[in-house]
Structure formats: C-alpha cells, structure tokens
C-alpha cells in the first residue's frame, strides 16, 4: 500500500518553517553553517541555506563511517564528502531527509568530528519516522510520522527526483 | 559487475572495474587532505604485507593505505623469517592466514606468485609485483595521475621508454592504458624489448627521437640492474645518450607533455636531474596518488563480506 504523506506544497511549507526555527535559535550566530547528509540531505541543506541567507553548505557521505560495513555483501559506492570550509568553532546544522534508526546521524557525527571541532552541532530533518536504535534526537523536525518498522518512507526532491513528495509504503 | 575477489593483474580487470577503482580512489584522495586523514571503514580487518623483494614506495604506500582505512597491517620481514630456513611460499602464506589475516599483499620474484596464492587461500590477495609479469596498483595509480592531469586517457598518446622486457610496470601499464582508450607506444634497445610485445597492443620504436616529440605522456622506466644479468647494452652512458630523457631532449619537448616514472629513478641514466623540479613532472603526484589508489583497492576487496545479504 502506497500513501502520499506530504505534497510538494507541504514540503515547501515545512522547509520554510524549519529555516525559520533554525534562524530563530541561531539569531546571534555569525558562524552558522549547514552540512547535508548525502544524498537527499544535501539539496535540503541548500534550500535551507537559501532561506537563511549567506551561510556555507557542505556535503557529507557517511559510507566510510557506517557501522554495518562488515554486514553487507559488497563494498558500497563511496560518494565522497565535500566540506569546503573549516568547521572548527562553527555552529553546524546537520541536515537529512529522514531520521529512522539514528545510525546515519551517528556516522555523520563521527565523521564531522574528524574534520574539526565545531562549537555546536544541531540536527534538522524533514521527516522523523521513529524507531530509534541510538540515543539521538533531532533539534528541528519538519513532520513526525507514525510508521511500522518495516514501512518504507521515500522522500522525493526536485533536485534528485524531479518532484517534491513524501510517500509511505506499507509492506 | 561481479564482486572483486582479488587484484592479481590488469589483464583480469574489465574497463568498468578499472574505472570503479579509479573513481573510488578519487574519493579517498579527498580523505587524505582532511585534518585527520583516517576513516574507520576497515576497522577490525587485518592485512599482511609479504614482500619477498625490496620496496620503498609500494610497501610504505600499502601500509599507509591500510592504516588510513583503520585496518591493522602486519609487515612480514622476509629477511628475518623462516623463508631463510627453507619454508615454502605456500606454507608461509598459510601460516600467516591462520593468524586471522583478511588479506595478503604480496611481492615476489616469480611471475604468478600472487595467482598461485589466490587459488589456495581464503584471504584476498593483492599482487604488488610478481617477477616480470604485472604490477597492477602501479598501473592504476599511473592511470589515476594521468586522468587527474588530462581528465581522460581517451585518445592520449603514451610512450613507455626503457627496459620493457624486465618491467612488470610496463606490462600492466600497456594493458591498463589500452583499456582506458589511450594509444601506447614503447621504445627501448632491441635487447630490452620482449618479442611479440606489440601483441599487448602497442607500437614499437627502437629510436627515441622518432617518437618522443609526438606524444602526450612520456613514461620513463628504471634501468633495472638487478634483473639484467648479462650485459644487454654496452654502457649506462650510451643508454643515457640513446634512451635517456636528457637535458637536450627536454629542451625540445613541449612543456605540455607530462613525464612519469614509477621510481626509484636512476638520475643521470634514464632521467637527467633537470626533470625533477619541472611542473610537468608528475613523479611526486604518482607517489601521493598511490596511497589513495591502494586505499580504494583494499576497501573494495575487504569491504563487505561474501555471503552476506
């Protein structure tokens, strides 16, 4: 069963609201920077940055920091990270499309700390679908969705998929 | 593309597999420029280096590549080992594997040594040079370095100069450059060109000045004194005059032409020292990129587990 959870218009509204909240919490921060988690966290980070005005955006690929590399059959594709600024002392907002088990965010935090020592890291996600396996919670959430563990939540974004939409598939 | 099990030679790789290794290496190049140039990708893996022949670059480069992926690396020092007591290659390798080693990187004077072990061990095997046969990671890092410089090897004219007969680097390079669409030529004294070398897919020249000024890349090989038993050319001085990239030839060479050498260089024989500081000399880039390429190879071979989902 496939069900559309968020329309294109709703996605835009949520991003507007996320940007507003991030901006409010970091009003006096001149050193704000966004880091999107590949792949769909990156276009989201860019859209947030456009609304926040003038803050650098990096992209992080967590493949080499995954905790299940020993469990997969084949070495996964390494997409590479691109963080073109020094993160030490900065206030970073880590951005991803969905938070689920929290393992991706754990990997991203480990990787970021190898790049430098930011003053603070906050977490923003478009969708929180629950079922955390690690004690990690986002600071900014677009929408919380009730899901079963084996549901699929697919995020489609204009930049990567040609349209904005969030779809839940129940198996 | 099936999963890569071993890296034995360029001959066994498809163009797609070569490109996959090079593209993965590109991502590792960025890792090497990070403040902490280490990633946890191969935590818990152990890699043994078995070098039965001397090496500076290759052994160090593999060692660093393993370390930067957080794998543990053991160096098997042949000079201090039971090989001196007559232990066979297979027994040596089996004993090391029994100590829970995931992969072996081997350099050996016998062609086919890596293939031999790959058929008999569960661990993955990387050929770091087998006799006069192949040295695949050198070819991959050369291809990486040239792609970094030119963007592509498609249609580029590459000249390999020197002792082609005893050179595993030349053999791997000819195969690799061909698979990536370059046009390869070789040049050297007839005594150092193997018969039927053109079957590998290259043009053959006996006089350097005939071809030198028509290529995009000049890849100079080391005169390997240790492999040349009988005298195959009259003197080093004559070799330099006929086949060396001398100051005089350099002066006539277009600065857009890039110069590579797998090292170690015999300065004053195949290369005049003037070459070392030129911007078109890519020797140090080759060394730097070697670590990234070997990280990619180790990651692709050791990452993931056979039989998993």
B 12-71 residues with CB below 8 A of A? 24, 26-28, 30-31, 34-36, 38-42, 44, 69
Closest in A65, A71, A116 to B35, CB measured: A116
Provide the pLDDT for residue B277.
87
Distance (Å, rounded) from C-alpha A75 to C-alpha B27?
A: 14
**Which of B23, B65, B297, B305 should one mutate to test binding to chain A, selecting the residue with the greatest count of A CBs within 10 A?**
B305
pTM over 0.80: yes
Q: Are A6 and A166 in contact (CB under 8 A)?
A: yes
How large is the average pLDDT for residues B41-61? 91
Which of A40-44, B184-188, B267-271 has the least mean pLDDT?
A: B267-271
pLDDT digits (tens, 9 = 90+) for B280-290: 999 999 999 99
Distance in angstroms (rounded) separating the CA atoms of residues B54 and B77: 10
Confidence of residue B1 (pLDDT cuts 50, 70, 90): low
Please list the alpha-helical segments (H only) found in B156-279.
168-179, 208-211, 236-243, 247-252
H helices of B180-222, in order, are 208-211
Residue A65 and residue B31: Cβ atoms within 8 Å? Answer: no
**Interchain proximity A114–B36, CB inside 8 Å:** yes
Q: Look up residue A62 and give its two tokens.
A: 């967590």
CA atoms within 13 A on the CB side of A89: 4
Tens-place pLDDT, residues B130-160: 999 999 999 999 999 999 999 999 999 999 9
Q: What does each C-alpha distance from A131 to A50, A102, A138 come to in angstroms? A: 31, 9, 13
ipTM of the modeled complex: 0.85
pLDDT band at B230 (very low <50, low <70, confident <90, very high): low
pLDDT confidence tier of residue A129, bands split at 50, 70 and 90: very high
Backbone angles phi and psi of B184, in degrees to 5: -110, 140
For residue B103, give the nearest of B76, B118, B123, B73 by alpha carbon.
Answer: B123
Helix residue ranges, H only, B151-206: 168-179
Among A65, A74, A114, select the one facing B34 at the smallest CB separation: A114
* CB proximity list for B242: less than 8 A, separation 6 or greater: B189, B207, B208
**Residue indicated by tokens 């926040």:** A52
Token pair recorded at residue B298: 């180790």
Residues in A touching B21 (Cβ below 8 Å): none
Portion 69-88 of B in contact with A at CB < 8 A: 69
B239: tokens are 């070799």
End-to-end CA distance of chain B: give it in Å, rounded. Answer: 17
Share of chain B above pLDDT 90, in %: 78
pLDDT at res. A76: 87
CB B245, CB B218: distance < 8 Å: yes
A72 touches chain B (CB under 8 A): yes
Sort strands A120-128 and A91-99 into parallel, antiparallel or unpaired.
parallel
Joined together, the tokens standing for residue B140 give 């991959």
Residues of A in contact with B44 (CB under 8 A): 70
How confident is the model over B195-211, as a mean pLDDT? Answer: 94
Do residues A163 and A156 lie in contact, with contact meaning Cβ atoms separated by under 8 Å?
yes
Which residue of B34, B42, B309 is in closest CB contact with A115? B34
Banded model confidence at residue B309, pLDDT cuts 50, 70, 90:
very low
Higher pLDDT, A30 or B291: B291
**Partner-chain residue, chosen from A61, A63, A74, that has the shortest CB–CB distance to B3:** A74
- Per-residue pLDDT averaged across A15-29, rounded? 93
Q: Mind telling me how many Å the CA of A49 is from chain B's nearest CA?
A: 24
Q: Does A85 touch chain B (CB under 8 A)?
A: no
Query: Nearest CA of chain A to the CA of B308: how many Å?
Result: 5
């Amino acid at each position: 069963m496939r069900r559309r959870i968020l329309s294109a218009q709703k996605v835009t509204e949520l991003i507007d609201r996320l940007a507003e909240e991030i901006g409010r919490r970091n009003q006096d921060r001149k050193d704000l920077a966004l880091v999107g988690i590949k792949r769909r966290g990156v276009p989201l980070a860019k859209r947030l940055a456009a609304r926040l005005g003038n803050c650098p955006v990096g992209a992080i690929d967590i493949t080499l920091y995954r905790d299940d590399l020993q469990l997969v059959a084949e070495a996964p594709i390494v997409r590479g990270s691109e963080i073109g600024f020094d993160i030490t002392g900065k206030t970073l907002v880590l951005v991803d499309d969905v938070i689920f088990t929290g393992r991706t965010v754990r990997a991203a935090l480990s990787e970021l700390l190898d790049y430098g020592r930011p003053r603070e890291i906050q977490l923003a996600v478009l969708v929180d679908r629950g079922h955390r396996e690690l004690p990690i919670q986002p600071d900014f959430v677009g929408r919380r969705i009730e899901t079963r563990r084996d549901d699929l939540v697919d995020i489609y974004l204009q930049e990567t998929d040609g349209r904005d939409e969030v779809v839940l598939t129940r198996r | 593309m099936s999963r890569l099990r071993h890296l034995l030679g360029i001959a066994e790789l498809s163009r797609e597999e070569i490109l996959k290794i090079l593209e993965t290496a590109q991502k590792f190049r960025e890792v090497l420029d990070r403040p902490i140039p280490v990633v946890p990708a191969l935590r818990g893996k152990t890699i043994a280096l078995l070098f039965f022949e001397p090496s500076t670059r290759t052994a160090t480069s593999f060692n660093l590549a393993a370390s930067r992926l957080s794998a543990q690396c053991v160096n098997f020092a042949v000079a201090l080992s039971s090989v001196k007591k007559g232990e066979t290659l297979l027994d040596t390798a089996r004993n090391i594997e029994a100590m829970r080693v995931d992969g072996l990187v081997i350099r050996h004077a016998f062609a086919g040594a890596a293939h031999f072990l790959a058929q008999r061990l569960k661990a993955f095997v990387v050929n770091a040079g087998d006799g006069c046969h192949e040295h695949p990671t050198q070819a991959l890092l050369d291809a990486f370095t040239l792609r970094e410089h030119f963007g592509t090897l498609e249609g580029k004219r590459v000249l390999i100069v020197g002792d082609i007969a005893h050179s595993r680097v030349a053999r791997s390079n000819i195969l690799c450059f061909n698979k990536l669409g370059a046009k390869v030529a070789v040049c050297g004294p007839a005594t150092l060109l193997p018969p039927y070398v053109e079957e590998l897919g290259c043009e053959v020249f006996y006089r350097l000045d005939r071809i030198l000024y028509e290529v995009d890349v000049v890849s100079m090989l080391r005169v390997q004194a240790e492999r040349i038993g009988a005298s195959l050319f009259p003197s080093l001085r004559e070799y330099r005059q006929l086949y060396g990239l001398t100051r005089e030839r350099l002066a006539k060479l277009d600065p857009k032409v890039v110069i590579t050498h797998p090292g170690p260089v015999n300065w004053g024989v195949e290369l005049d020292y003037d070459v070392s500081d030129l911007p078109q000399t890519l020797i140090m880039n080759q060394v730097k990129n070697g670590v990234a390429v070997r990280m990619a190879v180790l990651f692709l071979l050791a990452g993931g587990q056979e039989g998993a989902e």
